Chain A
Amino acid sequence: MTRTHCPYCALQCGTRLEVSPQGLTVSPDEDFPVNAGRLCMKGWTAPRVLSAPDRLTSPLMRQRPGAQQRPVPWETALDRVGAELRRIVSAHGPDAVAVFGGGGLTNEKAYTLGKFARVALGTSQIDYNGRFCMSSAAAAGSAAFGLDRGLPFPVTDLASAEVVLLAGANVAETMPPLMQHLAGADLIVVDPRRSATAEGAALHLSPAPGTDLALALGLLHVAVVDGHVDHGYVAQRTTGFDEAWRRAAEWWPERTERVTGVPVADQYAAVRMLAAAKRRYVLTGRGAEQHSKGTDTVSSYINLALALGMPGREGSGYGCLTGQGNGQGGREHGQKADQLPGYRRITDPAAREHVAGVWGVDPADLPGAGPSGYELLDSLGRPGGPRALLVFGSNPVVSAPAAGEITARLASLDLLVVADFVPSETARMADVVLPVTQWAEEDGTMTNLEGRVLRRRRAIDPPPGVRTDLWVLRELAGRLGQPAHRFPDDPGEVFAELRRASQGGAADYSGIEPRNLDDQAEPVHWPFPAGGSSTPRLFLERFAHEDGRARFRAVAHRDAAELPDGAYPLHATTGRVLAQYQSGAQTRRVPESVEADGEAFVEVHPDTARRSGLTAGGLARVVSRRGATVARVRTVASLRTDTVFLPFHFPDAGRANLITNPALDPVSRMPEFKVCSVRLEPLGSGAATGSGAL
């Protein structure tokens, strides 16, 4: 029996793996407190991906553009990649090669990928799909508290909460085992849809898509007018309340109601529920964050929590529900465009000095900050943009906004290299595909949504022909002239180096000994400095800003980047279903998931469907200015009549991201996945305006 963790979301549920003649079986770990014996369908069926019928077990290569991908020996594939990278770098400079990582990679992989980009390639062009995940919450959390850790408290603390406000988080579907910790709380759910989570809530606030920021400002307004501000806390532990209030003062309840569609009475009810509880939390998810104003929206929820005196007190607080399995660790160790390991800024001379010292290179040789995820993808193959891209643990053909255009960008590259374990939609476009190990076949560490560092353990051997990502990076680094010792492929060795690199940084792992991660050990939450101890709860004494105080941010509401008009009269919002995970590359290969939800669909209010000439069960084209996607119509009476919903897990013509708007948040550079304007057409009518037509 091997104790490890589920390969999917940021809960990182504990699992026990047994190898039997029938294959690997998984059962939930009763002793791991985050899931305490619970597991959702995705976790139960995760072994299916290990033996997916189309599992990649040999490198694939395309001899020339347009040719078929064919199996080749590893040497051939790696030599080709090495040679082409050398050619492109020498002809066009290091920034002509870009790297795109993922929030599902282990800490060791994320760390090594960042180091590979900066040292072996010398490129500044690296970012990852976490940019599409919690970057807005990270920016807002850092601004408010001086430190970004998804949950600054153990997830089990939620179990004693009386009231929890979930802003744009459908945890009943995206993180089912978390629900046991929320079972005792009255939930206030903010979601345009009556989601599974909203269904069970004590209060459901349903703002029009793109108006969450106005709602949060309105809630702060009510908190002030209704006399719920914790003045002592605000005076002693925060700064900036007055400026934040001046913005919220513009959002009196009736105006908030008109803009958001949330009744005045419900605004009061929500604030009173939070104010009356002793133990209460505000948690945000992608619904609040994936907007061109996501950072400000999260800041306004943090402002509300600060006004009520919640953060930094045991039994209450603010947190972000990180999405991807290693979304937390993935953003700490250097695959983000502007960061070095330990959550250090790449523009900080001291940080460069420290990390360059660990890497044995000259700090002056480290590149500076590069473009953010979407900007990087959008620049591929353009004049002055990268001509080669290495993708690890991501599937941007499905997950990037305006996916039609991004697909065209990928197609315009001189060289696309994808390391993956299944032929994802992005891998299918690649010139070279490198088959790598997955969860149960590898060792490493992950950091879950509560900043808890966990050990991923190898239970079985990978199929012959499959290598680890670390091995691939070492081999490529060697072909780029790097000494072998600089890129170890042993995860234990990499973790030891990562600890040194993170020492003194915000996300300090330097004190974490491998034995701390043993089964019986106490939980390990960073920061865990050398000679120090785990930090399960942050901010109890002081916040991480120099003055120890949390900062209110004065934020103003603004409209979504695109508003409905005559040609595109409806809001479209995108999200997730329980049975599928992210771009679906893994779960679409699991029969149980396919049976539950196996094809693209669009939820539409029955009246809206009728007016658009759609019938339940029929196909619709959902058309935006970026393109069109095809989806099966589901009529949902609880939906707003002005809004349709599409999950984004599905491929090809059913990609929801064919229609999404790449308007970016000015701070976090998060694209606006959660709202764009569309029209509906029964399939077969109207002219195709995008790449989604069947």
Chain B
Amino acid sequence: MSRIVIVGNGPAGHRLAELLRTRAPRAAVTVLGAEAEPAYNRVLLPSVISGKLSPEQTYLTGHDSGTVTVRRGAAVTGIDREQRTVRTADGLLHPYDELVLATGARCFLPPLPGLTGAGGGPADGVVALRTLADCRRLEDLLTRAGSVVVLGGGVLGLEVARALSDRGHGVDVVHMGPHVMERQLDAPAGKTLAGVLERLGIRIHTGRAAASWTGGRLVLDDGSGLPADLVVVSAGVQPNTELARAAGLSVGRGVVVDDHMRTSDPRIHALGDCAEHAGLVPGLIAPAWEQAETLAEALTGGHRPYTATRTVTRLKARGVDLAVIGDGNHALPGAEVVTLADPARGQYARLALQDERVVGAILLGFPSSVAAVSQLYDAGAPTPVDRLALLAGRAVAGRADAPGDLPDEAVVCRCNNVTKRALVAGWRGGARTPGALARATRASTGCGGCAGAVDGICTWLNATREAADEAGDALCADAVPAGEAHAASPAGAGEAFVPAAAPRQEEQPLHELLAR
């Protein structure tokens, strides 16, 4: 029986263990997690901060049974590659046939006066958000904090700022870059986003670094200061590579792995926030889960190389719709770039295409187009020709016809396949009320959805006759042409129920008649 030891009980290690439980039923899987807490979903922490979820509601599905053993509060202190064992802080040795490093990352804490406390951790009143324990600490500190400053205007910093403002806290964000999220956004997008956040009660200070924190005041590099009872640090993360480094594995920014998540020791693998693949440490959950799939395959004799997942970054902040798809700043020569900007309303879109395929997009304030664009990007599928409709996010509806303009062949009652021509014929046959038309043609006797339209056509026919009578015509033969050659509705008209044409001003448009 093969022994697989996974170091780390975060989302990456958890997912791998879950996959192995079903795919490698004969392997003995041991998960060693440093935290005392059950595995939880880090992505949901902003919802914990905003009070929408309890910490326990972020717990992932338990699988400490059968072939999987989860040891919590078991920090690994060393790897012996010769003996193929790992040692935990309690002194126990855990032998392995395959070892997986899923050690994750930790927050970077800038070495500034006042921010660090004894032992190098954050000082009292400072939180670097990474774990559920950090969230609990933040919760505790918030009860006595009036003013909050978030250090760092990247994705996580802005999500935390928004979660806090959602709870009614005024929040300042101090960001060193020229605009927020400059790794993902171009300048117009960053500025528009700052405007959106300001309207939600978040003050953004860009181009500024913190210098020190003392006495409830954060001093910035230009000497100015902000009241700050509480400082939340979101200045990036560092992969946890110490174990790998000490064991002599190849380490760059993260533990270096190949396309099958193998490190420089073929019996040791790494994935998630601690792993560096093709020079990149993605630091997102989607690639981590993707890597877990790859590694589960590799450990069970399969072959499914990891190809750096296409990234879609979504800011999880209530009232802000921002997505960065692929390389938002993409500016290769030959790319087709479509932009739309309405900064006053918080809207900015930038769509970069090559060979009709999305290579990058920034979508701010376009909530209904993100889904379509990101799916086209993920599938590598060609985009629709109408780029603006794609950005608008909804197919633009054709304009509806007035009864007089409706072609004779137009199907008014779909349930009984009754055309306008048939209704006119019924009316000519003496059916002058909607009820009589229904009896004569069966129109409106199915779902009833066309009752308004039948009513409208009946009214129009009766009115046309009155007009004709007034004009002295014996019968409204001219006004109600039957059998006149109208262009047949194009193929696909079964869907476009009412063919498009400009309605006459004086007549009620049919779409109003059709409306329930």
Contacts and interface: CB of A to CB of B under 8 A. Distances in A.
A513 B178 CA distance: 82
B382 to A, nearest CB: 6
A56 interface: no
Interface string B365-394: 001111110111011011111000000010
Interface stretch (A246-254, A326-334, A475-483, A621-629): A246-254
B331 interface: no
Among B321, B378, B445, B497, find the residue whose CB has the most chain A CB atoms closer than 10 A: B445
Interface in B47-103: 47, 52-53, 57-62
B316 A245 contact: no
Given A183-B448, A254-B314, A258-B312, A44 B442 contact: yes
A250 B47 CA distance: 13
Contacts of B382: 607, 611, 641
B333 interface: no
B495 interface: yes
A38 B57 contact: no
Given A249-B58, A249-B60, A635 B371 contact: no
A661 B57 CA distance: 38
B433 interface: no
B47 A176 contact: no
Contacts of B516: 183, 200
A496 interface: no
Nearest to A252: B43
Interface string A151-192: 000000000000000000001110011111001000000000
Given A605-B384, A637-B496, A638-B395, A249 B41 contact: yes
A41 B448 contact: no
B249 interface: no
Interface stretch (A80-88, A141-149, A262-270, A413-421): A262-270
Contacts of B286: 255, 258
A362 interface: no
A246 B60 contact: yes
B59 A172 contact: no
Given A40-B416, A200-B516, A616-B490, A642 B375 contact: yes
A595 B417 contact: yes
Interface in B480-497: 490-492, 494-497
B217 interface: no
Given A224-B53, A578-B414, A642-B375, A39 B445 contact: yes
Nearest to A254: B314
A569 B321 contact: no
Interface in A63-121: none
A249 B371 CA distance: 20
Contact of B445 (A38, A171, A554): A38
A243 B416 CA distance: 48
Interface in B432-451: 442, 445-449
A177 B445 CA distance: 8
A44 B416 contact: yes
Contact of A243 (B61, B395, B442, B446): B61
Contacts of A633: 491
B245 to A, nearest CB: 32
Contacts of B57: 224, 245, 249
Nearest to B382: A611
B219 interface: no
Interface residues on B, range: 35 or more
Nearest to B368: A263
Contacts of A226: 52
A263 B414 contact: no
A176 B446 contact: yes
Given A200-B516, A246-B59, A634-B494, A596 B417 contact: yes
A519 interface: no
Contacts of B62: 246
A617 interface: yes
Interface of B is mostly: loop
A257 interface: yes
B417 A38 contact: no
A33 interface: no
A642 B442 CA distance: 37
B56 to A, nearest CB: 9
Contact of B417 (A41, A172, A245): A41
Nearest to B491: A616
B209 interface: no
A361 interface: no
Among B57, B393, B416, B442, find the residue whose CB has the most chain A CB atoms closer than 10 A: B416
Nearest to A245: B57
A261 interface: yes
B12 to A, nearest CB: 13
A199 interface: yes
A194 interface: yes
B47 A225 contact: yes
B28 interface: no
B371 A261 contact: yes
Contacts of A405: none
A456 to B, nearest CB: 22
B415 interface: yes
Contacts of B497: 196, 199
A453 interface: no
B60 to A, nearest CB: 6
Contact of A634 (B53, B371, B491): B491
A634 B495 CA distance: 9
Nearest to B316: A254
B44 interface: yes
Interface in B14-49: 41, 43-44, 47
A641 B381 contact: yes
A417 B343 CA distance: 72
Contacts of B395: 194, 637-638
A506 interface: no
A186 B147 CA distance: 44
A633 B8 CA distance: 54
A674 B437 CA distance: 38
Nearest to B18: A556
B59 A592 contact: no
Nearest to A204: B394
Interface string A379-419: 00000000000000000000000000000000000000000
Contacts of A196: 414, 497
Contacts of A595: 417
A681 interface: no
Contacts of B448: 38, 179-180, 183
Among B43, B52, B446, find the residue whose CB has the most chain A CB atoms closer than 10 A: B446
Interface in A587-611: 592, 595-597, 603, 605, 607, 611
A636 B489 CA distance: 13
A28 interface: yes
Nearest to A632: B491
A37 interface: yes
Interface string A549-570: 0000010000000001000010
A680 interface: no
B495 A579 contact: no
19 contacts: A28-B445, A38-B448, A40-B446, A176-B414, A199-B497, A208-B375, A224-B53, A252-B43, A252-B47, A264-B314, A264-B367, A265-B367, A554-B61, A597-B494, A633-B491, A635-B492, A636-B492, A637-B395, A637-B496
Interface of A: 28, 37-41, 44, 171-173, 176-180, 183, 194, 196, 199-200, 208, 224-227, 243, 245-247, 249-250, 252-255, 257-258, 260-266, 554, 564, 569, 578-579, 592, 595-597, 603, 605, 607, 611, 616-617, 632-638, 641-642
Closest 9 CB pairs of A and B: A179-B447, A176-B446, A176-B447, A254-B314, A616-B491, A596-B417, A40-B446, A265-B367, A176-B415
Given A40-B416, A200-B516, A265-B367, 17 more contacts: A38-B447, A44-B445, A172-B414, A176-B447, A179-B447, A179-B448, A183-B448, A200-B449, A225-B47, A258-B314, A263-B367, A263-B370, A264-B367, A578-B415, A596-B417, A603-B492, A642-B381
